[in-house]
Copies of this chain bind each other. A is one copy, B any other.
Amino acid sequence: MTKQRLYLYDTTLRDGQQSAGVQFSVPEKIEIAKALDGIGIDYIEGGWPGANPTDSDFFEARPQTRATFTAFGMTKRAGRSAENDDVLAGVMNANTPAVCLVGKTHDYHVSTALGITLEENLENIRASVAHMVAKGREALFDAEHFFDGYKANLGYALECCRAAHEAGARWIVLCDTNGGTLPGEIGQIVREVIAAGIPGDKIGIHCHDDTGNAVAGSLAAVEAGARQVQGTLNGLGERCGNANLISLIPTLMLKEPYASTLATGISHEKLRDLTRLSRKLDDILNRVPLRSAPYVGASAFTHKAGLHASAILKNPDTYEHIDPALVGNTRLIPMSNQAGQSNLRARLKGMGIEVAKDDPRLARILEIIKEREDQGYAYDGAQASFELLARAELGQLPKFFEVKRYKVTVERRKNRYDKMVSISEAVVVVKVGGQKMLSVSESMDEHGHDRGPVNALSKALTKDLGPYQHLIDDMKLVDFRVRITQGGTEAVTRVIIDSEDGAGQRWSTVGVSPNIVDASFEALLDAMIWKLLRDGAVPA
């Protein structure tokens, strides 16, 4: 059987940017566009040229893509021709192969928001689509508030779609703009639209997650016959976000009734980049990836329950709906209060540490983990610190050096130009191979900017590590997360540090203390010791 083509349309750079706290720069938009193109997305909506300087600059600087680059805008306004609408001209001038224009299809919005007649709105749709087609562009029509409009005035909503269709639109995209329509209703209405004469292979679906059903709504539309799906990476977008393409793509490619009847532009080989693509967006946004994200989350194939973990060790498909490798993710048996000895042994094995089944040290390690988690440590997210803890208990952790004491000073005062400046200074006393060494560093970088006390401490700590210096030189701190783990006056600070070395290896360590500098110091120390261990340093 020939598979029908299903097109994927990404609007991370436009609707995704409507997320609270999200504002992409031009270089970030370029990086995201390249990543989308790399995995095989069909359409990349870049933004609204003319609406703001960033979007205009981006369209001038946009990368060459195999994907169809799309500019977003709105249908022409009433009382002028498409040619004479300056907003529309701004969109067309971006010279993209495709243009997507949003227009009203809900009679109530036409009257109240636009204040024009229903016929004027139809003419705006018709003329705008015809204008795009005349200019040689692939024309897309975003039918705003379509589902609410259809429920309020079925005839008019359909007439709007027909106007776009007859004027030559390649796609009529049915938008659930307010996000309140449930999947059953979406499927039903898409079926009715197709029955009313708009072909399914010209229908797109654009859902929002206001009821937590954007993915299911999109699937319902595809099942009903729609052949374009709009969404965003990680479900970014206005309010609760858009349909999450990262969740939709594997379902459409791996599960029935989709996998055997539909073909996307993404190969199964590229599907293995999905987890990386999702994390890349979080990197750019400096967000901690959602652990529980379907398919790509760090917890998506994490088996915490003792019973599940032991079954998984026998046969992965007992508690996994797909093989995590298909989407570039990995299985994880985490450490936690709930984990039994079989979890622990599996985890240690993954680190190259073999322990016999009845080794009493297993119970002791579990006990220490439990004690430390009670104090605020979290080892699920700090595997390197967990490894150090286990190795210490197993007698497999050499003592590379000893920290005798440290002192950090942070000062803020006016400089001679009467400007407030701050400076930090750290003194660390370390004993390496029987020799005591004092180091002092300040927090100024090469540009004379203060980088703070943790930086000063880290610099002082790495200054005189003598025989280990070359192993630590390529380490850098890439993320630093702080949480108060108990509220009120008993507040305890948990610091998790992600480090990276020159080879691109990443590891996470944890420190806990009511004192944030102290917690950071502990995590920094663990990060260094783990690196020494991994690189096979020989104790001095």
Contacts and interface: CB of A to CB of B under 8 A. Distances in A.
B294 A212 contact: yes
Given A20-B304, A23-B337, A481 B479 contact: no
Interface string A400-435: 000011111111111000000010100000000000
A18 B477 CA distance: 31
B216 A213 contact: yes
A384 to B, nearest CB: 16
A451 interface: yes
Contacts of A493: 452, 480
A518 interface: yes
Interface string A261-305: 000000000000000000000000010000111110111111111
Given A52-B338, A484-B479, A210 B321 contact: yes
A215 interface: yes
A113 B311 contact: yes
Each complex incorporates copies of this chain amounting to 2
A301 to B, nearest CB: 7
Contacts of A247: 211-212
A190 to B, nearest CB: 14
A408 B516 CA distance: 13
A127 B241 CA distance: 48
A453 B517 contact: yes
Interface string A25-67: 0000000000000000000000000001010000000000000
Interface string A447-477: 0011111110000000000000000000011
A182 B223 CA distance: 12
Interface in A81-128: 109, 112-113
A240 B338 contact: no
A319 B113 CA distance: 11
A488 interface: yes
A257 B485 CA distance: 43
| 8 tightest A-B CB contacts, nearest first | A180-B321, A216-B216, A452-B515, A212-B247, A482-B482, A405-B413, A212-B294, A212-B215
Interface of A: 17-21, 23, 52, 54, 109, 112-113, 177-180, 182-184, 209-213, 215-217, 219-220, 223, 235, 238-241, 244, 247-248, 250-251, 255, 257, 286, 291-295, 297-305, 308, 311, 314-315, 318-322, 334, 336-338, 373, 378, 380-381, 404-414, 422, 424, 443, 445, 449-455, 476-489, 491, 493, 513-518, 521
10 contacts: A182-B219, A211-B215, A215-B216, A422-B513, A450-B513, A450-B515, A451-B514, A451-B515, A452-B513, A454-B516
